[in-house]
Structure formats: structure tokens, C-alpha cells
Amino acid sequence: MANMVYNQRNHYITRTPKTNTRTLCECELYAPSNYDNDSQMKEVMENYNRQASERFKEYDERMMKNRQKCKEQCDKEIQKIILKDKLEKELMDKFATLQTDIQNDAIPTCVCEKSVADKVEKTCLRCGSVLGGGVAPSVGLLGGIGEAAISAWKVAALKAATKYAMKEGAIKGAIAGKARGMEIVIGALKEKGIAQYCPNIFQSIQKIEHFTELKDFIVPIINKHGEICGGSSSNIAACKAFDTKLGAGIPGVKNSPPPNYTIRILLEQVAYKADQTAKEVAKNIGKDVAASITKEKTSEIAATYASWETTIIAAVVAIVVIVLIMVIIYLILRYRRKKKMKKKLQYIKLLEE
């Protein structure tokens, strides 16, 4: 019984392995042998291989160029380092030679503090170089600019003077023309008796601005003539005298014009004559006055232009003289400086020997 129980608890279970068979039908679908006879797949593979080879080739070329650039840059840096080391070595050798061959008391002591002459020399050298190289060529340019400026001013001043002369001539000509026309009007009215028999109207006529306004006095004069001739018998003598001066209704003269017509024609003719005379006088006087003012202003402008031109020329000449003096000083100091440098080089060469 015990053995039976023991066997039931401690027995071994044996398993029989199961083998699963797996076919290669799926793998065989993607095998290379299946694509060897496929023309489309061959074309795709050839394109891929060709593009891959081209890209690898381009990559190799770029890498070669980059390597070449890096190599050239490295070579330049190496050359610089070698040259720097070489120069440092040569300088150290020269300093060592100078320290061993030259004694301290063999070389004269240098003056560290600059004298007044050295400072003046340096300043004059700088000023001379600046003036000789920059200022001297610009002197002519400044002179040309000044000349152009005053020439432009002269042209503008002449134009302004001409305009002013014409304006003044027109004003004075108008005044003179009006005065001359008024003389004609006054003389004609006095001659025809209007000033004597129509004094109030005559005073008003003397205050007119334009000669065309004379036509406005035709009716008042006719009315005044009617008052004189249409009054009492005592005015008959005055009426006849007035008509005689007007040249109207003269006794013994056939077909003499009536007073109304005579007065109208008289004022129209006087107005026309006075207006034409005033215009002619204004034109002549305006020309004379404009010519006189233009001549006067032109003389003033010419005098001012000449004075300015003289001032500019004097300034340019002064600048040129100063520049020449500075250039001469510069050349002298430059010669002295070269001479000193030549002596120093000879002394250094002698020390080296």
C-alpha cells in the first residue's frame, strides 16, 4: 500500500514532443531566385544600384575637395608658424649679437624728451603733408565755387533790377501820362468855355481817375447849357458867348451844329485825345525811367560784384601763399629728416660691421 502511495505521488510524467511541420511557401515568394527572371524588378534594381553608385561617387568627390581645402589651410598655418619661429629666432640671434658685441657706453644716450624744434618739425611735417595733399587742390575748387556763387548772384540781381526798373517806369510813366492828358482836358475845356460857364462841373472833371469818365459829364454840361440859354433875357448874351466858344449855333453860319451835339463830340474827342496822349507819354517816360534805373542798378551791381570778386581773389591768393609756404617748410623739414635718417642708418651699419 505504501509502495502504491509512493508511486502515485512521485511518479514522473513523460511528455511526447509534437513536431509542427512548417512549409517554406511564404519565404519562397521573396527569394532572389523568383526575381531573376522578372524584367521590371531587374530594371528597378539596376536604377537603384546606379543611383547609389552616383551618390557614393559624389560623396567621395566632396570629401576629396574638403580634404584638399583642409590640407591647404593646414599647410598655410604650418608655413606661418614656421615663418614666425624663424623670425623670432633671427631676432633673438641679432639681439644676442648686439648684447655681446656692443658695450653700454659705446652707444650715445638718446634724448627721450622731445625738444621744441622736434615738436615744431613734426607738426609742420603733418601740416605740410595735409595742406600739400588735400588743401592745395581744393583751393582752386573753392575759388571756382565762390566765382560761380557771385556770378549767379549777379545774374539774379540784374533780373531783379530790371524787373524793379520796369515796375518803377510803369508807375512814373502812368503818373506823367495822366498829368499830360489832364493838361489837354483842362486846356480844351477852358478853350470851349466849360470852365467859365460850368465851374462846378469843371472842378469835378479835374478829379477823374480815367479819361473815359468824361462821357459821364456830357448830360450835366448839356443841362447846364440849357439853364443858361433857357433863363431870362439877361442870359442871352452869356448864352451866345457860350455857344460861340462851343462852336454851336453861331449867328450867320449856316448848318452850324446844335449845342448838345457839339458838347457830346467835344467831350468824346477830348477823352480820346487825352487817353492816347497819356498812353504815349507813359510809354516813353516808362522806357526812359526804366533805362535810367536799370543803368543805375547795373552800375551798383557791377561795383558790388567787382568788390566781391576782388575779395575772393585776395582770399584765394592768401590761401595759396600760405599753402606754398607750408609746402616749402614741409619739403625743407622732409629733407632734414631724410638726412638724419641717412646718418642713423650709416651709424647702425658701422656698428654692425
**Who has greater pLDDT, 129 or 65?**
65
Q: Which of 51, 52, 32 is nearest to 42 (CA)?
A: 32
Of 116-130, 167-181, 239-253, where does mean pLDDT reach its minimum? 116-130
SS3 348: helix
All 3 cell numbers of residue 294? Answer: 536799370
Domain count, the chain: 2
* Pair (167, 274) in one structural domain: yes
Long-range contacts of 133-142 (CB under 8 A, 24+ apart): 135/319, 135/323, 136/320, 136/323, 136/327, 139/316, 139/319, 139/320, 139/323, 142/316, 142/319
Three-class DSSP labels, 9-48 = HCCCCCCCCCCCCCCCHHHHHCCHHHCCCCHHHHHHHHHH
**Who has greater pLDDT, 200 or 307?**
200
Domain contains 184: yes
pLDDT in tens, 35-82: 667 788 888 888 888 899 999 989 999 999 888 888 888 888 888 888
* Pair (180, 275) in one structural domain: yes
| Residue 9 confidence (pLDDT) | 52
* Pair (162, 269) in one structural domain: yes
According to DSSP, residue 108 is labeled P
- Give the integer Cα–Cα distance in Å for 283 and 176: 10
CA dihedral 171→172→175→176, nearest 10 degrees, is -150
Domain contains 126: no
Query: 248 lies in which domain range?
Result: 156-317
* Pair (188, 69) in one structural domain: no
| Residue 283 confidence (pLDDT) | 84
- The answer, yes or no, to whether residue 266 has pLDDT greater than 80, is yes
pLDDT in tens, 50-59: 899 999 989 9
* Pair (227, 297) in one structural domain: yes
**Who has greater pLDDT, 4 or 240?**
240
Domain contains 137: no
pLDDT in tens, 186-199: 888 888 888 888 88
**Confidence band of 33 (pLDDT split at 50, 70, 90):** low
pLDDT in tens, 147-192: 566 667 667 777 777 777 777 777 877 888 888 888 888 888 888 8
C-alpha distance from residue 233 to each of 194, 221, 230, 304 (Å): 21, 21, 9, 77
* Pair (166, 298) in one structural domain: yes
> Using only C-alpha atoms, what is the Rg of the chain?
62
Domain contains 289: yes
- The answer, yes or no, to whether residue 107 has pLDDT greater than 70, is no
**Who has greater pLDDT, 12 or 61?**
61
CB 326 within 8 A of CB 124: yes
| Residue 113 confidence (pLDDT) | 47
* Pair (171, 78) in one structural domain: no
- Give the integer Cα–Cα distance in Å for 224 and 243: 12
pLDDT in tens, 23-32: 545 455 555 6
Domain contains 25: no
* Pair (304, 171) in one structural domain: yes
- The answer, yes or no, to whether residue 323 has pLDDT greater than 60, is yes
* Pair (84, 213) in one structural domain: no
- Give the integer Cα–Cα distance in Å for 38 and 231: 149
- The answer, yes or no, to whether residue 135 has pLDDT greater than 60, is no
* Pair (90, 160) in one structural domain: no
What is the number of other CB atoms lying within 10 angstroms of the CB of residue 205?
A: 24
Burial of 314 (0-12, 13-18, 19+ CB in 10 A): exposed
SS3 56: helix
CB 199 within 8 A of CB 331: no
- Give the integer Cα–Cα distance in Å for 79 and 99: 30
**Who has greater pLDDT, 320 or 101?**
320
| Residue 104 confidence (pLDDT) | 45
pLDDT in tens, 271-309: 888 888 888 888 888 788 778 777 777 777 777 777 777
Domain contains 171: yes
Domain contains 35: no
Domain contains 31: no
Q: Strand locations in the chain, DSSP E?
A: none
According to DSSP, residue 210 is labeled S
- The answer, yes or no, to whether residue 3 has pLDDT greater than 50, is no
| Residue 176 confidence (pLDDT) | 82
All 3 cell numbers of residue 5? Answer: 502511495
Amino acid identity of residue 308, one-letter, is: W
Annotate 248-299 with DSSP letters as a single string.
Answer: -S-TT-TTPPPHHHHHHHHHHHHHHHHHHHHHHHHHHHHHHHHHHHHHHHHH
Q: Which of 255, 194, 200 is nearest to 225 (CA)?
A: 194
- The per-residue pLDDT of the chain, averaged, comes to 74
**Confidence band of 2 (pLDDT split at 50, 70, 90):** very low
* Pair (66, 196) in one structural domain: no
- Give the integer Cα–Cα distance in Å for 344 and 222: 121
**Who has greater pLDDT, 304 or 98?**
304
* Pair (165, 312) in one structural domain: yes
